[in-house]
Amino acid sequence: MIREWTSFFVAVFSLIYIYELSLFASGAKDSALALMRNPGIIAFNVLALLFTLYHASTWFYLIGKVQPIKLGKTTSKPWQALLLNIVLLLIISYAVIQIFIVR
Amino acid sequence: MPKVARLHAILWGVFSMGGFIAAFLLPVLIYLVGIAYPLGLWPVTNEDPTSAILNHHHIGTLFLFVTVAGSLYHGIFRFQSTLTEVGLARAKRALEAIGYLIIILGILATAIYLLQYNPSFFSLP
């Protein structure tokens, strides 16, 4: 049941970020940045990140359970899907940082 | 397959796609804009991450739209169906209506704000 409740954080972060985008679009960039520096919002974001990562892990495990892959005589285990997808998550996150922030 | 069942299957299919987006793309966005920027952590420097992403024009705008719209759909869809499982089954129809309304308005708003910021998005790079 915890997994289902983590979707609350996914949804609320998305709504807060849409509001931030609206401030960006209307030219109120300073207000948008001040909102993200609000201690309450930062605390929420830390919680949202933890719950989103938990949500992602359970999602990856579920994929391995629902759709195991057959390789010859062996069938993949859910923990293998979890591990593989966590590695993929790290690669994608690193690529996003490299493309949009570092470069 | 009846029309309602087909629609239900499509909605759960989109939910599943949103799950992948929320799992793979949302954590890094939360970290960059919500934690690293306000606390001055790696890899964010002076420029705020939202501007940095949007300055990458087409791909940045597309990244933000896919991440926010997919995560919003996934989050709201799951949350409203969770509420019906914890004793609000009587209000199922109303919760679904409110949930879909938030999803539609949220996705439209995201598209409009991103296009306002990058009006030449549909022109060739």
| Residue B123 in domain | no
Domain boundaries, position A52: 2-102
Cα A37 to Cα A20: distance, rounded to the nearest angstrom: 12
ipTM > 0.90 (yes/no): yes
Domain boundaries, position B95: 13-117
Chain B residues lying within 8 Å of A33, measured CB to CB: 37, 48
Q: Model pTM greater than 0.90?
A: yes
pLDDT at B125: 61
Count of domains forming chain A: 1
Distance from CA of A15 to the nearest CA of B (A): 7
Cα B56 to Cα B43: distance, rounded to the nearest angstrom: 17
pLDDT at B41: 93
- Per-residue pLDDT tens digits of chain A, which is 103 residues long: 777 788 899 999 999 999 999 999 999 999 999 999 999 999 999 999 999 999 999 989 998 898 888 888 889 999 999 999 999 999 999 999 999 998 7
CATH code, domain carrying A37: 1.20.1300.10
Residue B124, pLDDT above cutoff 70: no
Chain B residues lying within 8 Å of A85, measured CB to CB: 23
Q: Which of A80, A87, A51, A7 is nearest to B34 (CA)?
A: A51
| Residue B50 in domain | yes
Phi, psi at A71, each rounded to 5°? -120, 100
Cα B33 to Cα B64: distance, rounded to the nearest angstrom: 12
| Residue B37 in domain | yes
Nearest by CB: A92 against B24, B35, B114:
B24
CATH code, domain carrying B65: 1.20.1300.10
pLDDT tens string B10-20: 888 888 888 89
